[in-house]
Amino acid sequence: MGTTYKCCSETDKWVGICDPEDCITDGKTVWISACQCTTEDPGPGGPGDPDPIYPGPSCNEQQNLIDPLKPRWLVIPQGEYYSTSVIPMKYIAGTNTGVKEISVQLRRYGTPHLEICRCSTKSCTGECTVEIVNREQCPNWDDICNIIISHPDLMPVMKANTGPNQNLFIPWHLRVDVIPKWGSTCGADAKYEVKDCDSSCPTPRCTVKEQDCGTGFTLQNTGPYCLAHKATCKQVNGCGKEIDCNEAQCYGPEKNTNPQPPTTPKLKIDGYTYTLSTNENNWTRVRKPLPGKPEDAVKFSVTPQTPPSGTYRNPLFDFTAENMGVGNEWYDEWGNCVGVAGEDFCNHNRQSNTTDFHGEHAGHKSPVEILKEGAAGIIATRYHTQNICNDDRKHSGYMHSRYQVDRLPVVESVEITGNDTTLKGCKATAKFTGLDANNPLTITVTGSDPDGVNDINGLSVWLVKRGVGDLSNDIDEYRGMGSGLTTTNPNEIGMHFEFLERNQAHLYKANNENSANRLAGWGRDADNSQSLGTNKVQSSQGLLIEAATATHRTEGNKKIVTVTLQFPKQESQLIMGEYDVYVGFSDIFTKSKRSAEDGGGKYLDSQNVKNSGKNWSFDFVKPKIENTKLQTLEQKVQKLSWKNTDTGSGPMNTVINAYNNDSIGTEILRTIPSAGNDDLDRIKLQEVPGRTSIGNMPVSSGWKHIPDNVEVTSMTVNTLDLAAGNLRFYITLYDKACNYKHTGEEGEPPPEQNYDRWLSTKGGIFYSQGRVNYKTKDIADFNLGTELLSTGGTSIGTVRQLADDNKNPAIAKNIIDTNQQNRTSLFEELDRKLKNSMSKDLEKITNPLACNNLKGCYFSSENDINIGGTYSGKILIYSEKDITITGELKATSNNDAMFIFSKGNIVVNDGRVSNSTDRIDAFLMAKGRITIAQDADANKNHDQVLIVGGLTAFGIDGGSPAFILERNLGAENPLRPALILNYHPKYTKFAELFFGVDTSVHKREVGFKPL
């Protein structure tokens, strides 16, 4: 539906002519020739007059099939004109019934139309012209259906038709009637008004000036995006009215200007931001990026000097990098966006003020490749913005920022040392640390820094177990450092020593014991952030390093760091096997704090940690000695056997010690295996030392076993003349790390054999001028004595206490015995009496073993006498010198007795071993010494000796003691006394035959009576 008209009346009926002003539209003022009520917008062409008879095709029907959309008025007079105006018109008259005639009429308001032209399809009256529109627009008719009628200027016509009393300056109506060959006459109307003054602008027209655009606008064509209003200039027209007589397009001003170059160039590498210098004489040193990181790990950014808002569009950045490498290796012309080797880049027109530090061309180098140690470069950055009004851009100048990549410190040498010889004298196998050997371990690292030794601020040391540990995931990483708690992987023991003043350092430990086996960070195990923490390194399973300390010093351009690792002295399997040593210095870049802008915190990157090529082995597990046995093969032969076990580095040395607290200095001899050198096989026993001295090397009171590193082995020893004390064997096994274990270490008794030689007496009085120290064994009823045990000394032993008290002796110490006090005169008295007897009652015999004289016989010599055998009778064997009992001396009957009296010494030695008991039925008396001698070499078995009678050694003019027991049963000593002395009272009786009676008297004072 088109515009509705409110016509002259409310009933919408045609009411005739009315004032067009009575036609009120809903916004459009459309005057038609007659006030017609229509619901349709009559359009420029108007509805035309209705044919009252038969309308024929209506105007609308006539215009059917004719391009309805085409505007009918091509030039329509409308608006206001002045008398000087030219008022053309041009109209397409169309009908689908064929145009017959066209009438152009002018009409004054309120007057009938004045026809000014009538045209046929060929010509026109008046000044109108016609033009046939292409016939194709009327396809189905041969007639002309569209014809253009034009008039060049209606003003003269109007003037011509305006009398003197008529007003030209009125609204005029123009009508074009199209008379079809058939149908209604249709047409269109136009309305315009003529003013009596020239309301047009005078000439020349005015020129719109800049200020006409108003504040903030300009006539300058700043661009299509700044189109603003049109500014006009005013002039007074012919009507005296100031009217706009000219106009010009105004534009908004172009605010965009060349921006300032950006500032604050920053290179962010691995989370560290460095503000680069823009001073051409100053190159900012930056860290070397971590290898293996993605290309966006390094970013370059700038801070634009942003123009005021609203003055620009689309700010962009141009980053141009000229990376020159090390020593200008890549130096080329500026702006070569590829560079010599793909190192350069031109990241232009970037919206972001940050760019990755690499190009995007094929074959570009990564940031890590560009920012290698010592490399330098310049990054030129500019900032540009787009105009507000057009698409042109304005650029800032370039800011040149300079960088130089830090050179990492270099490790020049690594030495690993320790004291490979323990306090026990064990020398560890090279490059082994045990509980004592090479513990503590010293690692001396020497290095330098191409950027200056003062850059170096720490040292990382890693112990990595070969074949198990793997630092590949941790080296090229940076991790935070703090005071927190740590647990360290025993297979990857990481330590970082941060240098402090005064050559000191404190320890950070790797916190890398987790399921991912990754380094999580470095901690100090400190109570608080201020504390330096502990110098222990520990894992969740226990302590790894008791104390890890370091000192550092600078010598010239060298940094020398001495790391001391004290491992625990307790057994542990946590650190075991061969470890590679990784070291690396940190400098002020690889270990440093991040700024608050970067998030703060202190970090250490380990890219400089490298395998030093050194390795070291650890073993903190002691070896074991098992199945220790001591076996007596013969009296003097012991066999010691044992088994070596070591789960760590393996057995290395075995030391066998033999001690005897009671036989210090006594020799024993290793026989199997023999070193072939008596000096090595024969040892002098010493007393059991403190535990820390057992097994020491060089070996004292013992041997270094041969071979010393086999698993199951044994040793045979001949105890020679050892006759006292407990022979204790200690086996000490050292592994290659000089960890050791010796028998008896945990309180278990060492294999031992007692060698106490002892004697037993039965009956009679036992007396010794000095102390007595025989270790009587609990064998049968043997005891040191059974009656009186006496000594002039302070001790006598060992005396058993048997269950039958009747068998237990009385003991008297520190006593006086006149037989000892007067032994010289006693012996002389006895000798005198013997001689007297020999000269009177005794029968002299030549066979010392046979006497038939009831009063007794004697065998005497001024020389030494050897005697042995079975005898009968009562016989005195008398020698001015020594007497040797060379064989058993057995009485034939209990009524037989033999007294052996020597003015020298008596030796009991039959010279042969029968592995039984040598029996001597006799009473021995020697002026000097009585010796129960060995009947074989010290290293052979000896026989036990039984003397039934008595033994008296006066010790006159001889050595001390007067009695010597040399017979030694070796390992059988604990089982049998070497000498048994049984008293027989017949000797007390029969002595009278040879020695007469005791005629000594004792004078005693009786009574004392003074006045």
Cα–Cα distance, 91 to 87 (Å, whole number):
13
Residue 801 C-beta: closest distance to another protein, Å: 8
Residue 415 makes CB contacts below 8 A (sequence gap 6+) with 443, 444
Bridge partners, residue 522, by sequence: 481, 510
Closest Cα to residue 300, out of 212, 213, 371, 225? 371
Check the CA dihedral 659-664-669-675 and report its sign.
positive
* CA distances to 115, 137, 187, 245, 470 from 99, in Å: 18, 13, 12, 42, 104
Write out the binding residues for another protein, residues 662-721 only, by CB under 8 A.
Answer: 662-663
Residue 444 C-beta: closest distance to another protein, Å: 54
The piece of 19-27, 368-376, 548-556, 951-959 that touches another protein (CB under 8 A) is 951-959
- Minimum CB distance to another protein smaller for 384 or for 757: 757
Q: Which of 167, 328, 818, 861 binds another protein (CB under 8 A)?
A: 818
- Minimum CB distance to another protein smaller for 19 or for 998: 998
> Residue 952 interacts with another protein (CB under 8 A)?
yes
- Two structure tokens written together for 27: 């916004």
Closest Cα to residue 529, out of 484, 589, 488, 472? 484
What is the maximum span of the chain, computed from C-alpha positions, in angstroms?
A: 224
Residue 851 C-beta: closest distance to another protein, Å: 15
What's at 971, amino acid-wise? A
- Minimum CB distance to another protein smaller for 175 or for 984: 984
Q: How many CA atoms lie within 13 A of 707 on its CB side?
A: 7
> Residue 817 interacts with another protein (CB under 8 A)?
yes
Q: Which of 609, 965, 969, 971 binds another protein (CB under 8 A)?
A: 965
Q: Which of 9, 84, 207, 988 binds another protein (CB under 8 A)?
A: 988
- Minimum CB distance to another protein smaller for 393 or for 636: 636
Residue 919 C-beta: closest distance to another protein, Å: 15
- CB contact at 8 A, 955 and 991: no
Long-range contacts of 867-875 (CB under 8 A, 24+ apart): 867/900, 868/910, 871/896, 871/898, 871/921, 872/896, 874/898, 874/990, 874/993, 874/994, 875/845, 875/848, 875/849, 875/851, 875/899
> Residue 954 interacts with another protein (CB under 8 A)?
yes
- Minimum CB distance to another protein smaller for 81 or for 899: 899
Closest Cα to residue 986, out of 817, 834, 856, 818? 856
Q: Which of 18, 811, 913, 946 binds another protein (CB under 8 A)?
A: 811
> Residue 984 interacts with another protein (CB under 8 A)?
yes
Residue 686 C-beta: closest distance to another protein, Å: 14
Cα–Cα distance, 873 to 609 (Å, whole number):
102
Cα–Cα distance, 50 to 61 (Å, whole number):
12
The piece of 95-103, 280-288, 727-735, 821-829 that touches another protein (CB under 8 A) is 821-829
Closest Cα to residue 278, out of 397, 104, 454, 197? 397
Residue 774 C-beta: closest distance to another protein, Å: 5
- Minimum CB distance to another protein smaller for 449 or for 921: 921
Q: Site size for another protein, by CB under 8 A?
A: 101
The piece of 30-38, 59-67, 106-114, 960-968 that touches another protein (CB under 8 A) is 960-968
Residue 772 C-beta: closest distance to another protein, Å: 5
- Minimum CB distance to another protein smaller for 381 or for 790: 790
Residue 885 makes CB contacts below 8 A (sequence gap 6+) with 866, 867, 868, 900, 906, 907, 908, 909, 910, 920, 922
- Minimum CB distance to another protein smaller for 30 or for 951: 951
Bridge partners, residue 640, by sequence: 630, 715
Check the CA dihedral 267-272-278-284 and report its sign.
negative
Cα–Cα distance, 255 to 266 (Å, whole number):
29
Q: Which of 76, 411, 830, 945 binds another protein (CB under 8 A)?
A: 830
- Minimum CB distance to another protein smaller for 576 or for 830: 830
- Minimum CB distance to another protein smaller for 171 or for 793: 793
Q: List the x/- string, 480-509, binding to another protein by CB under 8 A.
A: ------------------------------
Q: List the x/- string, 420-459, binding to another protein by CB under 8 A.
A: ----------------------------------------
Write out the binding residues for another protein, residues 640-669 only, by CB under 8 A.
Answer: 662-663
Residue 948 C-beta: closest distance to another protein, Å: 9
Closest Cα to residue 742, out of 778, 695, 774? 695
> Residue 816 interacts with another protein (CB under 8 A)?
yes
- Minimum CB distance to another protein smaller for 545 or for 759: 759
- Minimum CB distance to another protein smaller for 39 or for 988: 988
Residue 998 C-beta: closest distance to another protein, Å: 4
> Residue 955 interacts with another protein (CB under 8 A)?
yes
Q: What are phi and psi of 61, to 5 degrees?
A: -70, -30
Write out the binding residues for another protein, residues 872-911 only, by CB under 8 A.
Answer: 893-895
The piece of 156-164, 473-481, 513-521, 811-819 that touches another protein (CB under 8 A) is 811-819
Q: Which of 823, 903, 942, 967 binds another protein (CB under 8 A)?
A: 823
Question: Quick check: bond before 164 cis, omega within 30?
Answer: no
Cα–Cα distance, 454 to 598 (Å, whole number):
25
Cα–Cα distance, 65 to 851 (Å, whole number):
189
- Minimum CB distance to another protein smaller for 136 or for 804: 804
The piece of 517-525, 710-718, 903-911, 958-966 that touches another protein (CB under 8 A) is 958-966
Closest Cα to residue 799, out of 757, 755, 759? 759
Q: Which of 336, 645, 820, 853 binds another protein (CB under 8 A)?
A: 820
Q: Which of 261, 923, 931, 944 binds another protein (CB under 8 A)?
A: 923
Residue 690 makes CB contacts below 8 A (sequence gap 6+) with none
Residue 962 C-beta: closest distance to another protein, Å: 4
**Helices 985-995 and 823-840, axial angle in degrees (round to 10):** 70
Residue 780 C-beta: closest distance to another protein, Å: 14
> Residue 987 interacts with another protein (CB under 8 A)?
yes
Residue 867 C-beta: closest distance to another protein, Å: 20
Q: Which of 260, 745, 956, 976 binds another protein (CB under 8 A)?
A: 956
Write out the binding residues for another protein, residues 790-809 only, by CB under 8 A.
Answer: 790, 793, 799, 804-809
Beta strands in 128-239 (DSSP E): 129-132, 146-151, 171-180, 186-195, 227-236
Residue 822 C-beta: closest distance to another protein, Å: 9
- Minimum CB distance to another protein smaller for 250 or for 834: 834
Neighbours of 628 (CB within 10 A): 17
Residue 727 C-beta: closest distance to another protein, Å: 13
Q: Which of 84, 819, 892, 917 binds another protein (CB under 8 A)?
A: 819
- Residue 314 DSSP class: E
Write out the binding residues for another protein, residues 749-788 only, by CB under 8 A.
Answer: 756-758, 761-775, 785-788
> Residue 946 interacts with another protein (CB under 8 A)?
no
Bridge partners, residue 656, by sequence: 703, 731
Cα–Cα distance, 145 to 92 (Å, whole number):
10
Closest Cα to residue 580, out of 607, 606, 609, 613? 613
